[in-house]
Structure 1
Amino acid sequence: MKIINRKQLNAFGGINFIYEHLNGLQCQSTLESNLPPLANQSQYNWKDIFHSFLSIYYCGGDCIEDININLKQHLGKNPFCKIPSADRVLDRLKQLAVPSFTCRTERGTVEHDVNRNDNLAKLNTELLDKLGAFDQEELTVDYDNTIIFAEKKDSKRNYKRGRGYQPGVATINTDNILYIENRNGNSDAKPFQAETLENMFGQLKQNNVGPIDNFRADAASYQLEVIKTVTKHCTNFLSGEGTVTLKNISTPLPIGRKPGTVRATRFLWARPNSHLLKKTNTTKLIGWSLGNKRAKASRPACLHRTTTNTGP
């Protein structure tokens, strides 16, 4: 971009193109319909708060105070939004917070602090829809828990011997954050993952997003309840390159099966670097027992065919 015949140059003038694009998508109406109403005498609306917060990262900042120190003097007269102070942005963001809840596993002693903000999750899904994130030939959801180191008062020690949080994060086609559920640092990825994923898929269903073609996750997702949840909403269950690939296989009911019985859901288990594949150049079929409370997914060495009857 070249500016001609301009006495004063704006160091962050390129952000105006982003503002213009967001205005064209009518993001302001989405924000106002999902966020708490503001007082009539409020000088700044949610679009001003949203644009100012984005400006920090798009303009190379790394903390909220960059609005006061570096950005406000340059962006204060832009035609698309008003730039509030850093304190005002923080105050508005605090209004969006929801209380956390504590839970335990059936046999565990660790208290898991979970924070689930369904309202912001809905807002995020609607904004992604406006940005065209779901207008793809194939939709792939990646899920993992990531560690955020922090010295906050309520943060707890994680398995890497540091204090912080360990939220569950899902992305859509690796480019956009689809869903976040915050957890404390002492919570590993396995507990209550099925509930987290069920809530995420519920948000997508409410916004008419789908179907999801692929779901990718690491070994922490090899749980019976997680597999049952994912297979209700996705076509394929995949893992990262070089580990395990799980794919839903459609097989007919065996002849002679008694009425009222349910066949086990079956998956294709392929380990690219496995010695079994080198010898036979084939894959092994595993039947995941729906009647067994303990998922055989936690024991990848189990390479045999199983069936189960859950009926009378």
Structure 2
Amino acid sequence: MTKVAIKNENITSFGGIYHIMDVFSKLGFEKLTESVLGRRGCSGKAFSHGSILGSLFFSYLCGGDCLEDINALIGQFRQRPGTLLPGADTVGRGLKELAEENIAYKSETSGRFYSFNTAEKLNTLLLRMIRRMGLIKGSSVICVDVFRISLMKELKLCIK
């Protein structure tokens, strides 16, 4: 005799993403994001930077490759209790708010102009997230610069 169990829960093909959302929550990434990037909006009703980056990242993990894919996946994300993530338009506006000015540089030898962007706040956030996950220890990062990456003798990551 076969037993059948009737489930009232919603079933989604992206159920594995809920585990990732739980891990992000347990690591406190949303609060960390707010501490590094600051609060967004003055009314307290705006989506946080953490929610914006979460929506983008979770969409990417579910196969999304552009902002509009967030709108197709947002219904799946909201099936997880307590989840409220912004749509593609809000994510786009939030990312524009995080943009920083490019730095122009003229080479003394060739006379050519170069433009680069350090994205200092986002790089700081990335390093703190990596530390929080335990991938590097606080003393592992020796220096940060945008030009060269090398590995030290003691296998400490040094971005020069």
Q: Secondary structure at the match of 1:235?
A: coil
CA distance, structure 1, for counterparts of residue 13 and residue 61 of structure 2: 12
Task: Provide TM-score, normalisation by structure 1.
Answer: 0.42
Larger radius of gyration: 1
1:50 shift after superposition: 2.0
Q: Does the C-alpha gap of structure 1 residues 5 and 132 become closer, same or farther in structure 2, counting only changes over 3 Å?
A: farther
Structure 1: 5+ residue stretches without partners: 141-178, 182-195, 201-214, 217-233, 238-312
1:42 shift after superposition: 2.3
Q: Does the C-alpha gap of structure 1 residues 62 and 180 become closer, same or farther in structure 2, counting only changes over 3 Å?
A: farther
Match of 2:153 in 1: 235
1:102 shift after superposition: 1.2
Ranked by relative contact order (alpha carbons within 8 Å, sequence separation 6 or more), the top structure is: 2
Structure 2: 5+ residue stretches without partners: 156-160
1:180 shift after superposition: 8.9
CA contact (8 A) 1:49 1:84 kept: yes
Q: Secondary structure at the match of 1:78?
A: coil
CA contact (8 A) 1:19 1:80 kept: no
Identity %: 25
Match of 1:86 in 2: 88
Task: Provide TM-score, normalisation by structure 2.
Answer: 0.78
Match of 1:49 in 2: 52
Q: Secondary structure at the match of 2:115?
A: strand
CA distance, structure 1, for counterparts of residue 99 and residue 58 of structure 2: 22
Q: Secondary structure at the match of 2:153?
A: strand
CA distance, structure 2, for counterparts of residue 58 and residue 40 of structure 1: 31
CA contact (8 A) 2:39 2:48 kept: no
Match of 2:158 in 1: none
Aligned residues: 146
Q: Does the C-alpha gap of structure 1 residues 43 and 77 become closer, same or farther in structure 2, counting only changes over 3 Å?
A: farther
Q: Which structure carries more strand by proportion?
A: 1
Q: Which structure carries more helix by proportion?
A: 2
CA contact (8 A) 2:18 2:80 kept: yes
